Amino acid sequence: MFSLAPHEFTPETTYLNTASYGLPSTRALTAVRDASATWAAGRGGPTELDQLVPELRAGFARLLDGATPEDIALAGGVAGLIAPVAATLPPGAEVLLAEGEFSSVSMPFVYRGDLVVRFAPLDELAAQVRPETALVAVSVVQSADGRIIDLAELRATTRANGTRLLVDVSQAAGWLPLRFADADYWVCASFKWLVGARSVAFFAAAPELAAQLRPVGSSWYAAEDRWAELYNPVALPTTARRLDATPDWLGVIAATAGLSLIEELTVEKIGAHNIELADRFRDGLRKLGFKPVEASSAIVVVPGAGDAAPRLETAHVIASARAGGLRFAFHLYNSDTDVERALAALRTT
């Protein structure tokens, strides 16, 4: 199997670290370079690129089947977009999290200080939901080991108990199909599988839920009519856009280019490609005597082998150490050659 986009990426390594940071595409680098040159020439600043923001919202909405652009907010990071959800919970409210959850998801609740926060094993999360649970927050694909939550089961359980569901899809969007109706609140960083920018993250919620959220430190950019309200704030919209933060417009260029590539190739095709490579890699790991985490995921983790990451890097194989494990991630720019090179490097480490 070949790379899905051989002319869009130019890595000089066997890059298997998308779960940490995706590679920039040629189209993104070119667009950012051109905009920067125009800015440097004094012929247009980054704010003139604000016309791309509606396109970016629409692009993410299309990835989240059933969402509309008005359901999407933009900011700089996931934790800041979770903060308004945490802030809306009353003191003493119960929040259920997965054990080993990435801290951007857990910290807004753990450190609020007046919530009842419970942790449960990922495979028991749905069973641990109870009527007094106000909110469940979980990553659809776990950062530490690549396991995937049964979102349909969790959604059914939260609905049955009157519990809100917040999901982080930073490790899922771009290769795993997603449906807007499967959660109440969605957050996503764009710099991983969406091959976007570190400075762009998405939030999504239907208007009836978004209207209940109070921004934590409202931005001028979140105003109902932002340009008319620069010096006279009047109102926030009732949609998710009320959570907008001032965008990094160069980041918007990169994120828009990334989404355009994902959409051209399609999530279904990318997902099939990624999982086929990851499955081949798992098979190879087993033959070498390793015991990877069992998951039908684009992320492959070997528990307890995290100290091998620096040694692999000397062989130009880029993976990451997470929670003691050695983590590999396969995406659209990877190929069978990368699988073989990584396995060969592991044989000699």
- Residue 264 makes CB contacts below 8 A (sequence gap 6+) with none
Question: Does any domain span residue 57?
Answer: yes
What percent of the chain shows pLDDT beyond 90? 93
Evaluate whether 154 touches 138 at the Cβ level (below 8 Å): yes
Distances in whole angstroms, Cα of residue 214 to Cα of each of 46, 74, 234, 236:
28, 15, 15, 10
Question: Does any domain span residue 134?
Answer: yes
What percent of the chain shows pLDDT beyond 70? 99
Over residues 287-299, the pLDDT tens digits come to 999 999 999 999 9
Expressed as residue numbers, the domain containing 38 is 29-264
- Residue 169 makes CB contacts below 8 A (sequence gap 6+) with 139, 140, 141, 176, 178, 186, 187, 188
Over residues 39-51, the pLDDT tens digits come to 999 987 767 888 8
Predicted confidence at residue 44, as pLDDT, reads 79
Task: Clarify whether residues 139 and 60 are in a common domain.
Answer: yes
Among candidate residues 237, 264, 291, the one where a domain is terminated? 264
Mean pLDDT of the chain: 96
Question: Does any domain span residue 3?
Answer: no
Question: Does any domain span residue 119?
Answer: yes
Distances in whole angstroms, Cα of residue 250 to Cα of each of 58, 83, 242, 341:
18, 25, 22, 34
Q: What is the CATH number of the domain that holds 301?
A: 3.90.1150.10
Task: Clarify whether residues 217 and 257 are in a common domain.
Answer: yes
- Residue 73's SS3 state is strand
Task: Clarify whether residues 232 and 198 are in a common domain.
Answer: yes
pLDDT band at 230 (very low <50, low <70, confident <90, very high): very high
- 45: number of Cβ within 10 Å: 11
Task: Clarify whether residues 189 and 308 are in a common domain.
Answer: no
**Could you give the CA distance from residue 178 to residue 118 in angstroms, rounded to a whole number?**
26
Predicted confidence at residue 209, as pLDDT, reads 97
Over residues 179-191, the pLDDT tens digits come to 999 999 999 999 9
Task: Clarify whether residues 161 and 57 are in a common domain.
Answer: yes
Task: Clarify whether residues 207 and 325 are in a common domain.
Answer: no
Question: Does any domain span residue 103?
Answer: yes
Task: Clarify whether residues 245 and 301 are in a common domain.
Answer: no
Task: Clarify whether residues 220 and 113 are in a common domain.
Answer: yes
Task: Clarify whether residues 282 and 233 are in a common domain.
Answer: no
Quick one: which of 36, 55, 52 has its CA closest to 44?
36
pLDDT (mean) for 51-70: 96
Predicted confidence at residue 1, as pLDDT, reads 59
Among candidate residues 207, 232, 264, the one where a domain is terminated? 264
**pLDDT surpassing 90 at residue 217:** no
Q: Work out whether strand 317-318 and strand 116-120 pair parallel, antiparallel, or are unpaired.
A: unpaired
Predicted confidence at residue 2, as pLDDT, reads 67
Question: Does any domain span residue 181?
Answer: yes
Predicted confidence at residue 295, as pLDDT, reads 94
Question: Does any domain span residue 117?
Answer: yes
Predicted confidence at residue 5, as pLDDT, reads 83
Among candidate residues 264, 280, 302, the one where a domain is terminated? 264
pLDDT (mean) for 111-121: 97
Over residues 125-169, the pLDDT tens digits come to 999 999 999 999 999 999 999 999 999 999 999 999 999 999 999
Predicted confidence at residue 349, as pLDDT, reads 72
- Residue 172 makes CB contacts below 8 A (sequence gap 6+) with 139, 140, 141, 148, 178, 193
Task: Clarify whether residues 39 and 61 are in a common domain.
Answer: yes
- Side-chain-side CA neighbours of residue 85 (13 Å): 30
Evaluate whether 6 touches 324 at the Cβ level (below 8 Å): no
| Total domains in the fold of the chain | 2
Question: Does any domain span residue 5?
Answer: no
Task: Clarify whether residues 160 and 299 are in a common domain.
Answer: no
Task: Clarify whether residues 126 and 229 are in a common domain.
Answer: yes
